[in-house]
Amino acid sequence: MSTVTTRTLVVPDEKKRARIPQRKRADRGRRLAGSVLFHVVSIAVLIVLLYPAAWMVLSAFKPSSDIVGNVSLIPDTWTLENFTQVFEGIAGMSFWRFAWNSLVLAVLTVVGVCLSSSVTAYAFARIDFRGRGIWFALMIGTLLLPFHVVIIPQYIVFNQLHLINTFTPLLIGRFLATEAFFVFLLVQFMRSVPRDLDEAARIDGAGHLRIFTTIMLPLMRPALVTCSIFAFLGSWNDFFGPLLYLKSPDLYPLPIALRLYIDSTSASNFGAQMAMAVLSLLPVLLFFLIFQRYIVGGIATSGLKG
Amino acid sequence: MSVITEKVPVTRAASGETAARRPVAGARIRRRPHGQNNRAGYTFLLPWLIGFIGLTAGPMIASLYLSFTEYNLFSPPEWIGLDNYARLFADPRFQQSAVVTLTYVLIGTPVKLVVSLAVAMLLNNNRRGQSFYRSAFYVPSLVGASVAIAIVWRAMFIDDGVVDRIGAFFGIDWGGWVGDPNYTIYMFILLAAWQFGAPMVIFLAGLKDIPAELYEAADMDGAGRWRKFVSITLPTLSPVLFFNLLLEMINAFQVFGSAFIISNGSGGPAGSTLFYTLYLYQRGFEDQQLGYASALAWVLLVVIGIVTAIFFRSSKMWVHYGGDAR
Amino acid sequence: MRYTRTIGVVAAAGVALGALAGCSSDESAATDEGGSVELTVTWWGNESRIEKYEKSFEIFEEEHPGVEITGVPSDYGSYWTSRSTEGAARELPDLMQFDGNLTKYAHNGLLLDASEYVGDTIDFTNVDENIVKGAQVDGKQFGIPFGVGGMSLFVNKALVEKAGVEMLDVDYTWDELNAWIGEITDAGITNDDGQPVYGGNDHGAATQLFYQWLVQKGIEPWDGETPGFSQQDIVDYLALEDEGLANGAFYPVDRTTQVAPLDGFSMNESASSLTYASFYGRYAPEVGGENIVMLPVPSGESGEKAMWFGPSNYAIGANTEHPEEATELADFLARDARVAEIFGTDRGIMVDTETRAGFEPQEGTGDAEVLAYVDSVEQYATAVTPQTPENFASYEAEWLRLNEERMYGNITAEEFAEQWWTEAGL
């Protein structure tokens, strides 16, 4: 793989347009038609795209029996019964317990990822040490590694250490920078930070630790925010890990708890499922609304080019 | 200790240019001997090293060993040589899962990328609301892999469900897709396509980097839309395309959550949703055949390795790095 | 520097929170602090069963001060992955609801041999010998039976009437059943929701039906790990359904997939269902108790039904620190009259004849129906519960899966038999 650079989003330059020969009325008309077409198509895509989400949200307000056959989005009868059922809990646990578990896992994930990934990225981006190239290549290699080849031994080891049914197996990797994606993102970002400040600090006698904590970290805030968001979302939606390692209902995060509602020994309750699905996705949506700039921007800058 | 800020002329050029700014004679230059850097380097790298050895490399080797054994978790592993691999290739369910997964990877990934590129091109203009649409289209990517959406998705594809009704509206009677082994895979392909937002954003960023002059020059040469797309857009985007394609493919091989939820852990009906990861889960953690499951994992690794290698090889032919005028 | 401190604080908090979170789960095994005994009990089931267990625990705890019981309910799907994990770490709960996996766990030394407690904390005087034997593995009492169940043919009386077909006679055979199913399907009626009605579900609900057929032929299904039957037997058994399959008489499999976890009978789209008698509890609310008729299983060629009632067992982890209390609890849950009041027939029919006699279900309830059914088929219960092999669970899963494939028309009966045989490693 050749070296990678980051590019920031570039909005087409207004000045360029001035160089184009003078707009004529016909051009303006065409532009208007183009604009209308653009919006029409975009809105059409938007509707098709968001239909499932809208269906889910509105179904949560329908009584269970009305959900299945109903194509129409708007409920015939609005009811909050599904939500009350969800809050009543299942298997003796309340919804808040599941949400709390998800929250604890997600927050700790964010902490772990930020700490370990930034430290690792600093090593790769800023410190020249022997073997750096090899370790870096190996780290990138793990991006392409399917997790299947590691879960079974990990599971066995955690079992021997009596760590099954705790949060530890799910979190330990986060504190050890096992997710190369975040390290990579931060390395990219760090490389684009000029070394002048580093050099200056070094002249002043600063060691790597000082440089890291007082110069790098503050500068890296946008990238760290992006990492935090993705780490949070990744943990919030994680299903396989909790499925494997969490066995008692009082530890279940939302994705696993959601599954309890479709247990085969009791009749399925569509309404409550939808309500719980909505509730479990609310934080995600909220996050997105607040941080969308970072999310979308972060995705853009991670794009590999050249 | 203070951090010097304004005195130093900060050149916003690419990193590496600090050589031009050598400190004046007399100032203390703390040029670290290589040894010291090693220590610092490995100290910072320590967490990752522990993680790499303990959670990645170590387990990899262990699972390779396990793949040559029979291990049911209760008694120690028993060496059986290549038996697992022999069994694997004759195993009808392995074949099923291979077909399902490959279908999903080979159809779903291109579909997803084509859609995302198309929408990115749609949005690649300076019109008002572009950033709104961009954000809105991204939302499904956030939630697409969640259990919640998998549940909703399934509910949409049952008999008399939303999709059935839509088909009926167009005069097609395809019934519920959930119960029809011929259709189930398309549920997943649609789910993948639904999440086009993430690659789309990357494509959009890439598109914006293409200098307008290239298009204008082509315009003056009388090039049509398609020509411009093929000769300008695609080549310039090829690194982004490569990146997206590779990552999406690797992800597609590892689908689990939605398959588990939609099929209720069964991979059914009739094995039509038996994604490879699901099959591995069933064998390893439900049937407790951990040796066999390890063999399955390694086969997947080798396949992905080969596919990736082919990809990188072929990239020399169609990916153009740094070819833009900028 | 400020940042270092912040990082330090956050990291420390993170680790602390992580450690706290890690410790927040329930641990099995007891902590003996001043004589307090902690027992962990696991089971699978739905919401109502959780309540029933909790109530029963309260009674036990009252009568045994110093004993604290922690119940860990689970859904069936994840029950055995949890147990296998615990088994590997030798950390099984004190008391567990068990099924055919008894043999496997016993053979691997994971369960307590409760033989020495029989006559002490465990009392089998009023429990039928066959049931006690059915809970043994290699002659040792690894299982403590708490309920018995069998198979039954559920019939939706209303739908049968609507189809204008005569009800089956209690002595019906396999062939008569399949022909009867075809008749109803051919009648082409629809139910109240306008959905087409079929004569019955296919007979792939459980391998136990195959074993039933074998026993009727005088074949003992399993001898340890060796099957007493051959591939041809499987083919012959499946051949019973051939005609029905060809004519589309059985409830369509793609519909089954869609309505899962319900089935055709629950949906009032299938007039019959040959399955576990305990399914009454899930059928009654959907179909209406008054519409359900329970018939015994079909008769074999000899005219014999050779039914048996298999026990459901509790088992105790070999690593338990309190075998006395655990066995006491098992015995209590299995035979105590008050527990029987609480559970009714939710876990099957009571194993203790006295408890059973003392239990008076309310008229018209599910409990009454099931008990009445069991009484009515007592005369047919001539067989002993067949032994199950170690890998019963995966054999069962494979059988069900192959059955689905067959119903979709993807494999023939021969291929079914072949694949099952290979999968079973035979």
According to DSSP, the β-strands at C95-98 and C37-44 are parallel
Nearest to A84, CA basis, from A280, A275, A255, A277: A275
Helix residue spans in B10-108 (DSSP H): 34-51, 58-66, 83-90, 92-103
Over chain C, what is the mean pLDDT? 87
**What span, in angstroms and rounded, lies between the C-alpha atoms of A275 and A258?**
10
Predicted local distance difference test score (pLDDT) of residue B30 = 56
Query: Residue A280: which of B3, B30, B148 has the nearest Cβ?
Result: B148
**Structure ipTM:** 0.83
Which residue type is seen at B289? Q
Residue A249's pLDDT band (cuts 50, 70, 90): confident
Which uninterrupted H or E stretch holds C2?
A: helix C2-22
> Which range (A13-22, A296-305, B163-172, B225-234) has the least confidence?
A13-22
Which residues does chain B have within 8 Å of residue C253's beta carbon, measured at their own beta carbons?
179, 269
Measured between alpha carbons, how far is B57 from B53 in angstroms, rounded to an integer?
5
**In A, residues 152-191, which contact B (CB 8 Å cutoff)?**
152-157, 159, 172-173, 175-178, 183, 191
Cross-chain residue pair B74–C110, CB shorter than 8 Å: yes
pLDDT band at C30 (very low <50, low <70, confident <90, very high): very low
To the nearest whole number, what is the mean pLDDT of chain B? 84
Residue length of chain B:
326
A164: left (phi over 0), alpha (psi -120 to 50) or beta: beta
Architecture of domain B90-318: Orthogonal Bundle (1.10)
Of A31, A119, C222, A41, nearest to B49 by C-alpha is A119
pTM of the full structure? 0.85
Strand residue runs (E) in chain A: none
pLDDT of residue C405: 92
- CA of A164 vs chain C CAs: smallest distance (Å): 8
Specify the pairing of strand C222-223 against strand C292-295.
unpaired
- What local confidence, expressed as pLDDT, does residue A107 receive? 95
User: Domain segments of chain B: what residues?
Assistant: 2-52, 90-318
The span from the CA of C3 to the CA of C133, in Å, is 70
Task: Measure B170 CA to nearest chain A CA, in Å.
Answer: 14
- Tokens 């002048």 map to which residue? A196
Task: Indicate the angle between helix axes B147-156 and A270-301, nearest 10 degrees.
Answer: 120
Burial of residue B215 (number of CB atoms within 10 Å: 0-12, 13-18, 19+): middle
pLDDT(B116) > 70: yes
Kindly state whether C379 is in contact with chain B, defined as any CB-CB distance less than 8 angstroms.
no
| C-beta atoms of A45 and B122 within 8 A | yes
Among A30, A148, A281, the residue to mutate for chain B (most B Cβ within 10 A): A148
Q: How confident is the model at residue B7 (pLDDT cuts 50, 70, 90)?
A: very low
Q: How far is CA B325 from CA A192, A295, B236, in A?
A: 20, 29, 10
Establish whether the linkage from the previous residue to B239 is cis, with ω within 30° of 0: no
Task: Return phi, psi of residue C362, to 5°.
Answer: -70, 145
What angle do the packed helices B109-123 and B184-194 form, to 10 degrees? 30
**Distance of alpha carbon A10 from alpha carbon A86, whole angstroms:** 46
Beta carbons within 8 Å of A225's beta carbon, 6+ residues apart: A291, A294
Look-up of token digits 């504190």: A175
Amino acid at the residue B296: L
The verdict on C31 touching B (C-beta cutoff 8 Å) is no
Residues 277-296 of B with CB under 8 A from A: 277, 280-281, 284-285, 290, 293-294, 296
Interface with C, mutate which of A64, A109, A167 (most C CBs under 10 A)? A167
| CA–CA distance, A299 with C246 (Å, rounded to integer) | 55
Angstrom distance (rounded) from CA B10 to CA B13: 9
Q: What's A249's DSSP letter?
A: G
Nearest to A118 by CA among B47, B36, B39, B55: B47
Q: Where are the beta strands (DSSP E) in C266-333?
A: 272-276, 292-295, 310-316
* Class of the CATH-defined domain C151-308+384-423: alpha beta
| Residue A21 pLDDT grade (very low, low, confident, very high; cuts 50, 70, 90) | low
Q: What residue spans define the domains of chain C?
A: 11-146+311-375, 151-308+384-423
Say if the Cβ atoms of B286 and C80 lie within 8 Å: yes
pLDDT at C363 over 60: yes
| Confidence bin at C411 (pLDDT 50/70/90) | very high
Q: Which residue's entry shows tokens 């579909």?
A: B111
Whether residue C185 contacts residue C199, with contact meaning beta carbons closer than 8 Å, is answered with yes
Once rounded to an integer, what is the mean pLDDT over residues A154-173? 92
Would you tell me the crossing angle of helices A95-126 and B34-51 to the nearest 10 degrees? Answer: 150
Count CB atoms within 10 A of the CB of residue C337: 15
Q: Which residue of A has its CA nearest to B6?
A: A197
Chain B residue numbers with beta carbons less than 8 Å from the beta carbon of C108 are 74-75
C-alpha to C-alpha distance for B195 and C253, rounded to whole angstroms: 31
Residue B214 has pLDDT above 80, yes or no: yes
Beta strands C143-149 and C222-223: pairing type?
A: unpaired
With bands split at pLDDT 50, 70 and 90, how would you rate the model's confidence at A304? very low
| Neighbours, chain A (3 or more CB pairs < 8 A) | B, C
**CA trace torsion C126, C132, C134, C138 (10° rounding):** -170
B73 contacts on C by Cβ (under 8 Å):
84-85, 87-88
Q: Note the pLDDT of residue A24.
A: 62
Radius of gyration of chain B from its Cα atoms, rounded to whole angstroms: 26
Q: What is the pLDDT of residue A173?
A: 92
Q: What is the pLDDT of residue A14?
A: 54
Q: What is the mean pLDDT of residues C73-90?
A: 86
A22-36, A103-117, C273-287: range with highest mean pLDDT: A103-117
Contact assessment for residue C217 and residue C301, using Cβ atoms and an 8 Å cutoff: yes
Token pair, residue B14, equals 């690419």
- Please tell me the predicted confidence (pLDDT) of residue B213: 85
* Cα C388–chain centre separation: 14
Q: Is the pLDDT of residue A65 over 90?
A: no
Give the gyration radius of chain C's Cα atoms.
24
- What would the pLDDT profile of C313-352 be if each residue is shown by its tens digit? 999 999 999 999 999 999 999 999 999 999 988 888 899 9
Least confident window among A197-201, B37-41, B270-274, C22-26: C22-26
Cα separation, B235 vs C17, whole angstroms: 50
A-C contacts at Cβ under 8 angstroms: 111
CB-side exposure of C355: number of CA atoms within 13 Å?
A: 28
User: Rounded CA gap, A248 and A257, in Å?
Assistant: 11
Amino acid at A123: A
Q: Is the peptide bond before B269 cis (omega within 30 degrees of 0)?
A: yes
C88 interfaces chain B, CB cutoff of 8 Å: yes
Q: What is the distance between the alpha carbons of residues C225 and B245, in angstroms, rounded to a whole number?
A: 50
Winning range, highest mean pLDDT, from A248-262, B116-130, C156-170:
C156-170
* C195 touching chain B per CB within 8 A: no
Query: Can you tell me the mean pLDDT for A133-159?
Result: 91
pLDDT of amino acid C146: 93
* Average pLDDT over every residue of B208-212: 84
CB–CB of C39/C326 below 8 Å?
A: yes
- Pick from A265, A268, A270, A273 the residue to mutate for testing the C interface (most C CBs within 10 Å): A265
Express as a percent the part of chain B with pLDDT over 90.
Answer: 43
| CATH architecture under which domain C11-146+311-375 falls | 3-Layer(aba) Sandwich (3.40)
Q: Which chain C residues touch B287 with a CB distance below 8 Å?
A: 394, 397
Interface of A with C (CB under 8 A): 90-92, 104-105, 107-108, 111-112, 115, 155-156, 159-160, 162-168, 171, 175, 209, 213-214, 217-218, 243, 246-251, 259-260, 262-268
Sign of the torsion formed by the C-alpha atoms of C3, C9, C12 and C17: negative
CB C150 within 8 A of CB C307: yes
Helix axes A270-301, A25-59, angle to 10 degrees: 140
Q: What is the largest CA-CA distance in chain A?
A: 77
Residues B291 and C391: their CA atoms lie apart, in Å, by 16
**Which of 104-123 (B) contact A at CB < 8 A?**
119, 122-123
Contact C324, C94 (CB under 8 A): no
Task: Find chains touching chain C: ≥3 CB pairs under 8 Å.
Answer: A, B
Ranked by mean pLDDT, which of B15-19, B230-234, B274-278, C121-125 comes out on top?
B274-278
For residues A194-209, give the mean pLDDT.
84
Count of Cβ atoms closer than 10 Å to residue C357 Cβ: 11
Pick from C3, C21, C77: which is nearest to A167 by CB? C21
Run of H or E including C281: helix C280-287
Say if the Cβ atoms of A300 and B209 lie within 8 Å: no
* Helix (H) or strand (E) run with residue C74 in it: strand C67-74
Token pair, residue C205, equals 């609900």
User: Residue A250: its pLDDT value, please?
Assistant: 87
For residues A143 and A183, give the distance between their C-alpha atoms in angstroms, rounded to a whole number. 10
Judged by CB atoms closer than 8 Å, whether chains meet at C401 and B268 is answered as: yes
How does the average pLDDT of chain A come out, rounded?
81
Measure the CA–CA gap between C128 and C134, rounded to whole angstroms: 10
What pLDDT is recorded for position B17? 41
Q: Helix axis angle, A132-143 relative to B34-51, nearest 10°?
A: 20
Annotate C140-193 with three-state secondary structure. Answer: ECCEEEEEEECEEEEEEHHHHHHHCCCCCCCCCEHHHHHHHHHHHHHHCCECCC
Selected residues 99-118 of chain A with any CB under 8 Å from a CB in chain B? 115-116
A3: left (phi over 0), alpha (psi -120 to 50) or beta: beta
B55, C126, C266, C331 from A35: Cα distances, Å:
53, 85, 55, 78
Nearest CB to A267: which of C86, C88, C262? C262
To 10 degrees, what angle do helices B290-318 and B58-66 make?
A: 120
